[in-house]
Amino acid sequence: MRVCVPLIFTLVLIAHSFGQQQSGQATPNPPTSTIPAGEANFTAEQLKEYYLVYRNPDVRYLRKLFDKYLAGGAGVDDEFNLLKEWSSDYYRSKFVVLSREGGLFGGTFITIIFQDRPDKIFVAWIYPEGSNGKLTLRKLDASRFNDEDVRRTRTRYRKFLEDKEHAM
């Protein structure tokens, strides 16, 4: 099965992780961002490739887990405890996948932003457990992106944040 990594954030995530300032001095300037300003444009072929990410079982599992949590259904306590750390308002919204990458020690890291609450970018770690490879949410954290990064992401990828058809 072919693994599709979205085109949107691959380079941005790399640049961001290497571009963090390590200075211990406080500066009066607002935080900088490695995310380019302005809205991104994509070809029809790039969009077609990107939309394949929503067919991945781990991305679909994340949506099913959010829905199950909202419905108050039975679930794995460990997973639901991770979801309790954030407002349910996030999970009521569809999400946009910004990146999907294989983890060094297994599983997949999925970076998402919620359409109706785009104030944070989250990273979910989905891991196949046991001999049957049952998907499990191992972690859901806010990303290390600062407020300026999030603001630029909303501008740069506005098209995806407004796309209710393809978002999960």
**pLDDT given for residue 31 in this prediction:** 63
pLDDT, tens only, 129-153 = 988 899 999 999 999 999 999 999 9
pTM of the model: 0.79
**pLDDT given for residue 2 in this prediction:** 43
For 124: left if phi > 0, alpha if psi spans -120 to 50, otherwise beta; the answer is beta
**Separation of alpha carbons 126 and 135, rounded Å:** 6
pLDDT, tens only, 67-80 = 999 998 766 788 99
Q: Domain map of the chain by residue range?
A: 42-161
**pLDDT given for residue 36 in this prediction:** 84
Reduce the DSSP state of residue 122 to 3 states and report it. strand
For 18: left if phi > 0, alpha if psi spans -120 to 50, otherwise beta; the answer is alpha
**Separation of alpha carbons 4 and 89, rounded Å:** 28
pLDDT, tens only, 26-58 = 445 556 888 888 899 999 999 999 999 999 999
